[in-house]
Amino acid sequence: MWKILVVDDEPSVLELTEIMLRKLKLLDREIHVISAQDSEQARQAMVENPDTALIILDIVMETRDSGFEFIGYVRNTLQNNTTRIVIRTGESFTGWSPSKIANHYDIHDYVEKTRLTKERFLTIITCALRYYQHILERMRFEEMMVQTEKMMSVAGLAAGISHEINNPLNIILQSIQNIVRHTSLDVPKNFEVANECSVELEPIHAYLEKQRVFMFLGFAKEAAQRTASIVADMLQFSRRSDTEKEPANLIELVNKTVELARMDYNLKEQYRFDDIQIIREFDSNIPPVVCILTQIQQVLLNLLNNAAQAIYNQMDNAETETSKPQIILRIQYKGEKIRLEVEDNGIGMDEATSKRVFEPFFTTKEKGSGTGLGLSVSYFIITTNHQGEMTLESTPGLGTKFIIYLPLS
């Protein structure tokens, strides 16, 4: 939905503009008109609706320069250089040509009411909205590039850490294996060494068994192998720095992304990913998907992190009884496409929030804890870079399900 703010001190002009726009659908979106009769109302409207796409602005209202002052407020005070501004005024300004005003005040267009036809008015609005859409797509692309650079930096760090961990980890595993082998009753050489030392091997083995030493060694070996698996995932993640599409095993990618998400949340006291039940519902006949591995993994990590936060927000809500926290991952083969779902039983979203989650800079998180770009970038990656689809279904208090369709080729 496009938000258009109409600012004019003539009530009849506001009413006529709203009648003209409210039933229109431009660039496949409906229009929501916000009206303001003076610059103070306009300022309040921009604070409440920072995602306004277009401002249709009169200049002479309370004062001769009210409109110009409002533009300065939007561009300088609010630091909003995205929203398009079209000046629609009934007066000309001596010494100021439309082009000079456009350059000085960073506006999209300048028209005089007396020369404005309905067709020209709609053309100006359509062009302004198309340009606004282009700006958002460019911002998504730039943010995606920043996120990709961050992922590559993290990948490099992961590679260094993994190599440092690998060496002592191998020593630990080899030492455990040597202890078990050198005390085993199935190795004849052990009896020979025991005889040379004038000791009986069976009592030593029985003592170690009685004291559960072999059980403890088994625990240590299992933990070391688990760590080795994590290190292998980190190394594989670190090598994915290319942006070329290649066939990928989506089930394997999802499973490894879950492990990465688990490591991320184990570093944060407020979230324990291990406490969340991960349910996997994967079709058995999933063919390889041609994709950019790092980008799809970035999308999955973002969805898993959001799901975990939604679950813990639900648990913090004392008025709501919550079931066991869980995330359901589904992968289904749908002809020429693969359907991927990430569903949580978290706090959920109302309809108004659901409609805006893919907008850049929109966030429901506390100030300073989110940029509002994660889902926007994810949407861009799926729809633009992979020609796929990304939607969501959500119910307040019950949870959210993100649905992704990826073409096979």
Write out the two tokens for 280. 């996997």
pLDDT at 350: 87
Highest mean pLDDT among 95-104, 121-130, 351-360, 378-387: 121-130
Q: Is 130 part of any domain?
A: no
Please tell me the total count of domains within the chain: 3
Q: Is 138 part of any domain?
A: no
Of 240, 257, 277, at which residue does a domain stop?
Answer: 240
Task: Please tell me whether residues 231 and 322 are part of one structural domain.
Answer: no
pLDDT at 239: 55
Task: Please tell me whether residues 254 and 300 are part of one structural domain.
Answer: yes
pLDDT at 266: 43
Kindly indicate the confidence band of residue 234, based on its pLDDT and cuts at 50, 70 and 90: low
pLDDT at 400: 93
Higher pLDDT, 409 or 307: 307
Task: Please tell me whether residues 209 and 65 are part of one structural domain.
Answer: no
Q: Is 136 part of any domain?
A: no
Q: Is 141 part of any domain?
A: no
Task: Please tell me whether residues 293 and 406 are part of one structural domain.
Answer: yes
pLDDT at 95: 56
Task: Please tell me whether residues 231 and 254 are part of one structural domain.
Answer: no
239/176 Cα distance (integer angstroms): 30
190/196 Cα distance (integer angstroms): 10
- CB-facing half-sphere around the CA of 254: CA atoms within 13 A: 23
Whether residue 404 has pLDDT greater than 60: yes
What's the angle, vertex CA 64, arms to CA 6 and CA 86, rounded to 5? 30
Task: Please tell me whether residues 271 and 365 are part of one structural domain.
Answer: yes
Whether residue 190 has pLDDT greater than 70: yes
Kindly indicate the confidence band of residue 376, based on its pLDDT and cuts at 50, 70 and 90: confident
What is the helix (H) or strand (E) element at residue 331, kind and residue range?
Answer: strand 326-334
Task: Please tell me whether residues 100 and 50 are part of one structural domain.
Answer: yes
Asked if 332 and 338 touch (Cβ cutoff 8 Å), the reply is yes
Q: Domain with 9 in it: what CATH number? A: 3.40.50.2300
Using CB atoms within 10 A of its CB, is residue 274 exposed (0-12), middle (13-18) or buried (19+)? exposed
342/274 Cα distance (integer angstroms): 17
Task: Please tell me whether residues 402 and 260 are part of one structural domain.
Answer: yes
Asked if 67 and 59 touch (Cβ cutoff 8 Å), the reply is yes
Lowest mean pLDDT among 222-226, 280-284, 358-362: 358-362
pLDDT at 269: 42
Kindly indicate the confidence band of residue 366, based on its pLDDT and cuts at 50, 70 and 90: low
Q: Is 74 part of any domain?
A: yes
Higher pLDDT, 215 or 150: 215
19/2 Cα distance (integer angstroms): 15
Higher pLDDT, 234 or 405: 405
Whether residue 362 has pLDDT greater than 80: no
Task: Please tell me whether residues 388 and 253 are part of one structural domain.
Answer: yes
pLDDT at 157: 63
Task: Please tell me whether residues 165 and 213 are part of one structural domain.
Answer: yes
Task: Please tell me whether residues 6 and 82 are part of one structural domain.
Answer: yes
pLDDT at 224: 87
Q: Is 144 part of any domain?
A: no
Highest mean pLDDT among 23-27, 228-232, 333-337: 333-337
Of 240, 272, 301, at which residue does a domain stop?
Answer: 240
Q: Domain with 409 in it: what CATH number? A: 3.30.565.10
- Cβ neighbours of 266 (radius 10 Å): 12
Q: Is 182 part of any domain?
A: yes
Q: Is 250 part of any domain?
A: yes
Mean per-residue pLDDT for 197-206? 92
Kindly indicate the confidence band of residue 365, based on its pLDDT and cuts at 50, 70 and 90: low
Q: What is the per-residue pLDDT across 34-90, written as a single tens digit (0 to 9) for each? A: 999 999 999 999 999 999 999 999 988 988 889 999 999 999 999 998 999 999 987
Identify the domain containing residue 192 by its residue range: 150-240
- CB-facing half-sphere around the CA of 399: CA atoms within 13 A: 20
Of 94, 116, 138, at which residue does a domain stop?
Answer: 116
Task: Please tell me whether residues 22 and 99 are part of one structural domain.
Answer: yes
pLDDT at 97: 67
Asked if 18 and 49 touch (Cβ cutoff 8 Å), the reply is no
